[in-house]
Amino acid sequence: MQSIESEAKIAQEYLARIAKDAEAKFDEHLPPVKDRPCRLHEAMRYSMFAGGKRLRPGLAKATFDMFGGKGEKIWLATSALEMLHTFSLIHDDLPCVDNDDYRRGKLTSHKKFGEATAVMAGDALCIHAFEMMGKTGNAKAIELLAHLLGTYGMIGGEMTDIECEGKTVDLEIVDYIHYHKTAALIEASLLVGAMLAKASEKDMEIIRNYGRSIGLAFQIVDDILDIVSTTEELGKDAGSDIEKGKATYPSIVGLEKSRERARELYEESIKALDGLTCDTSILRSIAAYIITRVK
Amino acid sequence: MQSIESEAKIAQEYLARIAKDAEAKFDEHLPPVKDRPCRLHEAMRYSMFAGGKRLRPGLAKATFDMFGGKGEKIWLATSALEMLHTFSLIHDDLPCVDNDDYRRGKLTSHKKFGEATAVMAGDALCIHAFEMMGKTGNAKAIELLAHLLGTYGMIGGEMTDIECEGKTVDLEIVDYIHYHKTAALIEASLLVGAMLAKASEKDMEIIRNYGRSIGLAFQIVDDILDIVSTTEELGKDAGSDIEKGKATYPSIVGLEKSRERARELYEESIKALDGLTCDTSILRSIAAYIITRVK
């Protein structure tokens, strides 16, 4: 049995490797800056290439390979997933939403290109993602992805997050926000990879449970890092959750209990994988990475 | 040969009939207000039920029926198309974009619900539309629709429209803006209906040409109405194009030449339909309606 730290290291190396391939595909799939409207294409690329862990592409590629998926179509999905994640960040950073000036150590889209362009760049990335997904030929995967992105998924979580700012909320609401705003797209990434590899319904259900656990753990760790890290370490404003009166895990149960909950979720995610007969080692490593990451 | 006015009347009655059925489906397809996030669902419904001609659903249903389409899936597409149109209006009305207070005689989304909710309501309608399209099972239609919506289509037109405000532009740019911002989604609506009815590639090409002509005519008529109508007649701010320094047809070639161009496009659209063997009477009527409409 490996230590959780060495497990995490395996995942980190895996994600870095996939990120490199995925990024080469982003470049291929994003419209070139020379095409009209040039500045919009520049804004889309600026945010897509602002760095980031490329976790969602990594998750989709992991389940695709795990279930024996073959061919190039997975790269359409990895581009689509990162475009959707980036779209959500651009719109979340807008002055009327979270009003953030920095993201991944760079100026946010609206700070760099102006608000109108930032709104349109987010819209364009969202639409372009569905064009990529259309090219996979899998309409079922599109339905599932859109469902987990929409008001019963990511957008629902973001909206509730905004509505609860500065309000006293209970753990049920924080769980709702975290699950929807973060875990839903993580779950979707895993499921899209599995679907494109034609995984069975039963296996999809297992992946769904694993995804929910690591997704929620991911956001709890995010909340913790917002408190214990510096802005430099994070590449975005540290301490901004408290400043904005955001509903977070530590604000309700404290840092120690938040850490315990993340650890529990990690164990639940590993247990969920028990039902699979294929090699799940990479998903176990990713779960370890998610709860030990420092940025 | 019927007069253009009586042709237009037939289209108007047809569109009103389809609008009624399409609206019943919107109600079925939109998330209920009782579900969380309630206020976001309320905002989505507010804009979707703010009236409008429901032209895009009408166009999709027309080609679907014309090419012998059967079954209920067309209503998923009609809902999706109206959601996409509404999403674009909500984001276009935002303070950082066109900054409009009224739309269809009612307060715009951000005026009624606040900016953050308006951004999210637009996003949610866009995503929900792709969920509906996913349910049609036709990934090719999704790819085509997203392409005509994205930076090579509607969003490209909107962005260039914003960038050209207050600038001196030539007819080539106005044609680019009008084709992309308006005609692309009109073309997409016709093509999605045709695709769901399994129309041939050759027939799709004819529909594409027809769609481009009526789409461009539609926007030229819009430009003309912005000048010759009152705010009350339009349900939105009349004269706002001039006020904002928008690139329009009349601002470059004058009212009379704009009317001539719309008429030419009408004739081109009718001529395009010559290649079809099925009954095209409803598309001919719709073209007549588009260039004679007064709001």
The pLDDT tens digits for B17-41 are 999 999 999 999 999 999 999 999 9
What pLDDT score does A160 carry?
95
d(CA A131, CA A125): 10
Per-residue pLDDT at B236 exceeds 80: no
Q: At residue B50, what is the residue type? A: A
What pLDDT score does B241 carry?
85
- Best to test chain A binding among B34, B96, B125 (most A CBs inside 10 Å): B96
Percent of chain A with pLDDT over 90: 88
Residues of A in contact with B150 (CB under 8 A): 124, 127-128, 131
Q: Which is it for the CA torsion A279, A283, A287, A290, positive or negative? A: positive
From B137, which residue of chain A is nearest by alpha-carbon distance? A139
pLDDT in tens, A120-148: 999 999 999 999 999 999 999 999 999 99
What pLDDT score does A230 carry?
75
pLDDT in tens, B126-145: 999 999 999 999 999 999 99
What pLDDT score does A195 carry?
98
Give me A136's structure tokens. 């996979």
Indicate yes or no: CB of A41 within 8 angstroms of CB of B151: yes
Average pLDDT, chain B: 95
For residues A230-251, give the mean pLDDT: 79
Split at pLDDT 50, 70, 90, the class of A229 is: confident
Indicate yes or no: CB of B146 within 8 angstroms of CB of A139: no
Reported as type and span, the H/E element at residue B254 is helix B249-272
Indicate yes or no: CB of A146 within 8 angstroms of CB of B131: yes
Residues of A in contact with B36 (CB under 8 A): 156, 160, 176
Indicate yes or no: CB of B128 within 8 angstroms of CB of A146: yes
The complex scores an ipTM of 0.96
How many pairs of residues across A and B have Cβ atoms under 8 Å apart? 159
pLDDT in tens, A59-93: 999 999 999 999 999 999 999 999 999 999 999 99
Give me B180's structure tokens. 């992309």
Percent of chain B with pLDDT over 70: 98
Q: Give the number of other CB atoms < 10 A from CB of residue A164.
A: 17
**Chain B nearest CA to A162, separation (Å):** 8
Residues of B in contact with A45 (CB under 8 A): none
Residues of A in contact with B159 (CB under 8 A): 37, 39-40, 117, 120
- Which of B36, B116, B126 has its CB closest to that of A156? B36
Fill in the DSSP letter of residue B75: H
What pLDDT score does B231 carry?
67
Residues of A in contact with B143 (CB under 8 A): 131, 134-135
Indicate yes or no: CB of A115 within 8 angstroms of CB of B124: no
Per-residue pLDDT at B272 exceeds 90: yes
Nearest to A77 by CA among A31, A144, A13, A154: A144
Cβ neighbours of residue A235 closer than 8 Å, sequence gap 6 or more: A51, A102, A103, A104, A105, A295
Say which residue, A205 or A166, is predicted with more confidence.
Answer: A205
pLDDT in tens, A176-187: 999 999 999 999
**Chain A nearest CA to B165, separation (Å):** 13
Residues of B in contact with A91 (CB under 8 A): 119-120, 123
Task: Tell me phi and psi for residue A31, to 5 degrees.
Answer: -60, 140
**Chain A nearest CA to B142, separation (Å):** 5
**Chain B nearest CA to A271, separation (Å):** 30
Q: Which is it for the CA torsion B229, B231, B235, B241, positive or negative? A: positive
pLDDT in tens, B180-220: 999 999 999 999 999 999 999 999 999 999 999 999 999 99
Residues of B in contact with A140 (CB under 8 A): 134, 137
B235 contacts B105 by C-beta, under 8 angstroms: yes
User: Is residue B70 classed as helix, strand or coil in its secondary structure?
Assistant: coil
Least confident residue range of A220-229, B52-61, B152-161, B191-200: A220-229
Indicate yes or no: CB of B139 within 8 angstroms of CB of A143: no
In DSSP terms, B233 is beta-bridged to none
Split at pLDDT 50, 70, 90, the class of B2 is: confident
B22 contacts B64 by C-beta, under 8 angstroms: no
**Chain A nearest CA to B292, separation (Å):** 32
Per-residue pLDDT at A6 exceeds 80: yes
Percent of chain B with pLDDT over 90: 88
B190 contacts B210 by C-beta, under 8 angstroms: yes
Domains in chain A, please, with CATH?
A: 4-292 (1.10.600.10)
Per-residue pLDDT at B1 exceeds 80: no
What pLDDT score does B120 carry?
98
d(CA B83, CA A151): 14
What pLDDT score does A1 carry?
60
A130 contacts A142 by C-beta, under 8 angstroms: yes
Indicate yes or no: CB of B35 within 8 angstroms of CB of A151: yes
Per-residue pLDDT at B63 exceeds 90: yes
Please report which residue ranges of B201-245 form alpha helices under DSSP H: 201-228, 231-234, 240-244
Q: Which is it for the CA torsion B48, B51, B54, B56, positive or negative? A: negative
Task: Please write down the HEC assignment for all residues of chain A.
Answer: CCCHHHHHHHHHHHHHHHHHHHHHHHHHHCCCCCCCCHHHHHHHHHHHCCCCCCHHHHHHHHHHHHCCCCCCHHHHHHHHHHHHHHHHHHHHHCCCCCCCCEECCEECHHHHHCHHHHHHHHHHHHHHHHHHHHHHCCHHHHHHHHHHHCCCCHHHHHHHHHHHCCCCCCHHHHHHHHHHHHHHHHHHHHHHHHHHCCCCHHHHHHHHHHHHHHHHHHHHHHHHHHHHCCHHHHCCCCCHHHHHCCCCHHHHHHHHHHHHHHHHHHHHHHHHHHHCCCCCHHHHHHHHHHHHCCC
Residues of B in contact with A195 (CB under 8 A): none
What pLDDT score does B294 carry?
85
d(CA B104, CA B168): 29
**Chain B nearest CA to A170, separation (Å):** 16
What pLDDT score does B234 carry?
67
Q: At residue A21, what is the residue type? A: D
A148 contacts A185 by C-beta, under 8 angstroms: yes
Nearest to B186 by CA among B279, B100, B62, B92: B62
Per-residue pLDDT at B245 exceeds 90: no
Fill in the DSSP letter of residue B138: -
Per-residue pLDDT at B279 exceeds 90: yes
Least confident residue range of A151-155, A253-257, B165-169: B165-169
Least confident residue range of A38-47, A84-93, A241-250, B42-51: A241-250
For residues A196-211, give the mean pLDDT: 98
pLDDT in tens, A25-46: 999 999 999 999 999 999 999 9
Residues of A in contact with B160 (CB under 8 A): 36-37
Least confident residue range of A104-108, A117-121, A211-215, B44-48: A104-108
Can you state the percent helix, strand and coil of chain B, rounding each to 5? 75, 0, 25
Per-residue pLDDT at B233 exceeds 80: no
Average pLDDT, chain A: 95
**Chain B nearest CA to A147, separation (Å):** 6
From residue A200, give the alpha-carbon distance in Å to each of A204, A205, B139. Answer: 6, 9, 21
What pLDDT score does B240 carry?
79
